[in-house]
Amino acid sequence: MMKGSDSHADQPSAPSGDRILDQFFPEARAKLIDLAAILDRIDRYGGAEDYRLRAFHRAMEEVSRPGGADRARRVLECFSDPTTKPADKPVTPVATGAWAGERKR
Amino acid sequence: MRYIEPHGHMVSRTTDDYLAMVTAGCRAVCEPAFWAGFDRKSADGFYDYFCQLTDYEPKRAARFGLPHYSWLCLNPKESEDLELAEDVLALIPEFLERPNVLGIGEIGLNKNTRNEITVLERHVDLAASRGELILVHTPHLEDKLKGTRLILDVLDADRRIDPGRVIIDHVEEHTAPLVLDRGYWAGITLYPESKCTPSRAVDMLEMYGRERMWLNCACDWGVSDPLAVPKTALEMRRRGLSEDAIEGVLFHNPARFLQQCARFAIP
């Protein structure tokens, strides 16, 4: 992927990784705890097992995988329909957030 | 700070929103035709909607001193009915010469079906035959990656299409590079939960460059924020972008794309 030639050229004070951590750690911590609480809630109510949760767990593995600075892309791909041919009819009436898989066709 | 809101469904918003946008520095708003929240039963419903987009809504915006532009199409969510699609496509040409019309949009795909692709191709043909700009909607969530690839294939297959006159909207980290690498413009939509946050939008500007990107709120009848674009300027400042650079993305970039339409006047 090309990188814009003007990406950082006129940034007066480009922030450091430490500054980014300072800014976003509280938000990331809160979101992570919320995520854990959602999974706990599902378990407390008897648990669930479907394509959305499986995609979710694959995505969490990608979050934990170090390097590349492309975790967001990899997480999005975990939820995405990987097929390439157009569907004859809509597979699901609305998008659910995760690909339901070939078995739903 | 000046900005242009290049994608807002203002027929779904209140006059308070117009006031807030103008107060925040909005100099023009552009409204693509979209799904009403329910499927319309006939082409007559679209005729009335196109009148609203090209006549009534510009007058409502003008009360706040805000230039209002629109894009016209049958949205992909209603493209499964090919007979209705043909009826609506036949209506569009008579509206294209109206003074606030920017081109054909937001066309694209929803569930990536064959019928949706057929209707997308018909819209692309209409735009190409008349030299109109194109605004493309990419599908939601799990359907976005596949849909974006299919849309790019349709556009690339029509040799009359200049990628510099097409903006592909609602890109995210997995689709922005696909769009930009083929020469198209890319729109980042700041929309709760289903699309992109201000922080991620600025990440994408850093990763993929700012030359052919615009930011929009796509505010509509759902939970959405008509001030999402100016609010993102705060995050841009935190990342060290200068005021000139911020205005470059939020005002000059959409102006540069939109002024390819002779009916658009830089505000």
Query: In this predicted structure, what is the pLDDT of residue A103?
Result: 53
Check if B241 contacts A (Cβ < 8 Å).
yes
The count of domains in chain B is 1
Asked if residue B185 is part of any domain, the answer here is: yes
Are the Cβ atoms of A81 and B112 closer than 8 angstroms? yes
Query: In this predicted structure, what is the pLDDT of residue B165?
Result: 98
Asked if residue B267 is part of any domain, the answer here is: no
DSSP calls for A26-87: HHHHHHHHHHHHHHHHHHHTT---SHHHHHHHHHHHHHHS-STT-HHHHHHHHHS----SPB
The number of C-beta contacts closer than 8 angstroms across A and B is 116
Query: In this predicted structure, what is the pLDDT of residue B240?
Result: 94
Asked if residue B263 is part of any domain, the answer here is: no
- Identity of residue B266: I
Asked if residue B266 is part of any domain, the answer here is: no
- Identity of residue B256: R
User: Rounded CA gap, B2 and B6, in Å?
Assistant: 13
Asked if residue B139 is part of any domain, the answer here is: yes
Asked if residue B100 is part of any domain, the answer here is: yes
Per the structure, the complete domain to which residue B164 belongs is given by 3-258
Q: What is the ipTM of this complex?
A: 0.95
Residue pair A79/A97 in contact by the 8 Å Cβ criterion: yes
A46-77 pLDDT per residue, tens: 999 999 999 999 999 999 998 889 999 999 99
Residues whose CB is less than 8 angstroms from the CB of residue A95 and which lie 6 or more positions away in sequence, other chains included? B111, B139, B140, B141, B142, B143
Quick check: A9 pLDDT over 50? no
List chain B residues with CB under 8 Å of A86.
112-114, 116-117, 150
Report the Cα B108 to chain-centroid distance in Å. Answer: 11
List chain B residues with CB under 8 Å of A87.
111-114
Asked if residue B265 is part of any domain, the answer here is: no
Whichever domain contains B88, its CATH number is: 3.20.20.140
Query: In this predicted structure, what is the pLDDT of residue A1?
Result: 44
Torsion of CA B125, B167, B117, B104, to 10 degrees: -50
Query: Among A84, A88, A100, whose Cβ lies nearest the Cβ of B149?
Result: A84
Residue pLDDT tens, chain B, 267 long = 999 999 999 999 999 999 999 999 999 999 999 999 999 999 999 999 999 999 999 999 999 999 999 999 999 999 999 999 999 999 999 999 999 999 999 999 999 999 999 999 999 999 999 999 999 999 999 999 999 999 999 999 999 999 999 999 999 999 999 999 999 999 999 998 888 999 999 999 999 999 999 999 999 999 999 999 999 999 999 999 999 999 999 999 999 999 999 999 998
User: Band of the pLDDT at A13, cuts 50, 70, 90?
Assistant: low
Check if A50 contacts B (Cβ < 8 Å).
no
Q: How far is B137 from chain A (nearest CA, A)?
A: 15
Asked if residue B34 is part of any domain, the answer here is: yes
